Amino acid sequence: MTIRNKHVEQKSKLAILQALRMHGSSPRIRLATLTGLSRAAVSSAITELMESGLVIERELLQSTGGRPPIAIQLTPRTHAVIGADYEHQQWTLGAFDLIGHTMNMIQIPVGQSDPQSAIEMLTKQLPAFIKSIEAPIIPVLGLGMPGLIDTEHGIIVSASDLGWERVDIRKLIEDRIDWPTIVLNRHRARGLAECRFGSGSKNSHMIYVGVGTGIAAGLFHNQRLLSGALGGAGELMGHITIVPDGPLCPCGNQGCLQMLAAESAIEHEYATLNTDTYEDMTMDTICEAAELGDPIAFLAVTKAASYLGIALATMLNLFNPESIVLGGPIPRASRLYVTTAMKVMKERAMSQIVNGSDFRTAAIDEAGGALGAATFALDERLTYPMLIK
């Protein structure tokens, strides 16, 4: 076999593997459509992939008699890919197989708030974590990080809630572990996990909105994350101006959505309204109190959620998705926040578009960011030789 023919065969097999990763188990004819390969090329590649143990056949449900149709699916737990998500000075580090099954996951606290400490703690724990995985490791790392991310260059442009600016995190990580490292916003990573494995897995057009210390959105089309000029389409949702003369944001603008609807907004509004007594209430405790009927907490949560609803209506009118999925710490903590945001969104968006869209909360818990980051790393950097070493 010539080098060129070997390269063509590997490219065909990788295309099939990536199609199965993104779209799930599929008959051969659908794989031909998804990959653009001929049926003969698909059959030949699948035969080799089955021999290598990377894919298996399974019967689909028979509907009209005759031979049941056969679908091809990825074999579980043949390999592992690693992803990590950083939030509240803690890493969630996970290992996942090619179809999103969690093989291991740990939490790594970070004592200091500077980026160097975060990187040091992650890379210090990584070797032992890798040894704990009972499968070949694909040598690529996905990171879900806060702030505006230049995904192409692996740079945290700005994470205003942490005070980080121009952190070349990809280089800092790669200097320590010598693996290709892919970096994206943590909410967009969580959105990709929901798109492939969670609440949006049945939709072709989805928007994920993550709400925590900041707010970011991920736009998804045909199971893929859409990119902008910096690789961050939707990432700046938290910096949409909602109130022109509103509170000053660390980005330099006034009235940004994240200053009105994210974690700090809820805490600030509660402290402002609660003038009788001083209580050191966090977002979680305020949300819990609101669910139990505390009137001040109720006002703080619903005010923040209403601002988010206004922004969601704009997103809905602009992009007309099949579904919007809300995720992140605040939607997890407060059903009131979610229902209020959805109510305001439906009141302000075009009724025809509202009636054609579904609205859900995220289905994947704390593993979502690490899973999405690992998934994105495979989308961007997986090669066939990585699987056959």
Residues 6+ apart with CB under 8 A from 160: 147, 214, 249, 250, 251
Burial-class residue 274 by CB neighbours within 10 Å (0-12, 13-18, 19+): middle
Q: Is residue 197 part of a domain?
A: no
**CATH assignment at residue 19:** 1.10.10.10
Q: Is 43 in a helix, a strand, or coil?
A: helix
Q: 256: which strand partners?
A: 241
Q: Is 270 in a helix, a strand, or coil?
A: helix
Tell whether 147 and 279 lie within a shared domain: no
Q: Specify the number of domains making up the chain.
A: 3
pLDDT over 90 at 97, yes or no: yes
**CATH assignment at residue 126:** 3.30.420.40
Tell whether 338 and 306 lie within a shared domain: yes
**Alpha carbon distance 89, 34 (integer Å):** 41
Task: Please state, for a pLDDT cut of 70, what percent of the chain lies above it.
Answer: 94
Tell whether 36 and 140 lie within a shared domain: no
Tell whether 58 and 40 lie within a shared domain: yes
Q: Is residue 196 part of a domain?
A: no
Tell whether 231 and 249 lie within a shared domain: yes
Q: Assess contact for 251 and 234: CB atoms under 8 A.
A: no
Tell whether 170 and 136 lie within a shared domain: yes
Q: What is the pLDDT of residue 161?
A: 78
Of residues 381 and 278, which shows the higher confidence score?
381
Tell whether 346 and 210 lie within a shared domain: yes
Q: Is residue 17 part of a domain?
A: yes
Q: Is residue 228 part of a domain?
A: yes
Q: Is residue 109 part of a domain?
A: yes
Q: What is the pLDDT of residue 215?
A: 92
pLDDT digit string, tens, across residues 184-230: 999 999 999 999 999 998 888 999 999 998 899 999 999 999 876 65
Q: Is residue 159 part of a domain?
A: yes
Tell whether 168 and 305 lie within a shared domain: no
pLDDT over 70 at 319, yes or no: yes
Tell whether 243 and 180 lie within a shared domain: no
pLDDT digit string, tens, across residues 102-139: 999 999 999 998 999 999 999 999 999 999 999 999 99
Q: 83: which strand partners?
A: 94, 142
Q: Which pTM does this prediction carry?
A: 0.91
Q: Is 237 in a helix, a strand, or coil?
A: helix
DSSP secondary structure, 77-144, as one string: TS-EEEEEEEETTEEEEEEE-TT--EEEEEEEE-SSSSHHHHHHHHHHHHHHHHHT-SSPEEEEEEEE
Q: Assess contact for 31 and 17: CB atoms under 8 A.
A: no
pLDDT digit string, tens, across residues 226-272: 876 655 666 778 889 999 999 998 888 999 999 999 999 999 999 99
pLDDT over 90 at 66, yes or no: no
- Domain ranges, residue 31: 3-74
Q: Is residue 248 part of a domain?
A: yes
**Alpha carbon distance 121, 176 (integer Å):** 12
CA nearest 316: which of 289, 288, 346?
Answer: 346
CA nearest 332: which of 373, 302, 364, 292?
Answer: 364
**Alpha carbon distance 383, 385 (integer Å):** 6
Q: CB neighbours (10 Å) of residue 116?
A: 10
Tell whether 245 and 343 lie within a shared domain: yes
pLDDT over 90 at 154, yes or no: yes
User: CA-CA-CA-CA torsion for 308, 310, 311, 317, nearest 10 degrees?
Assistant: 140
Q: Where in 110-261 does DSSP place strands (E)?
A: 137-145, 148-150, 155-159, 164-167, 181-185, 205-211, 215-221, 224-225
Q: Is 159 in a helix, a strand, or coil?
A: strand
Q: Is 74 in a helix, a strand, or coil?
A: strand
Tell whether 181 and 131 lie within a shared domain: yes
Tell whether 356 and 212 lie within a shared domain: yes
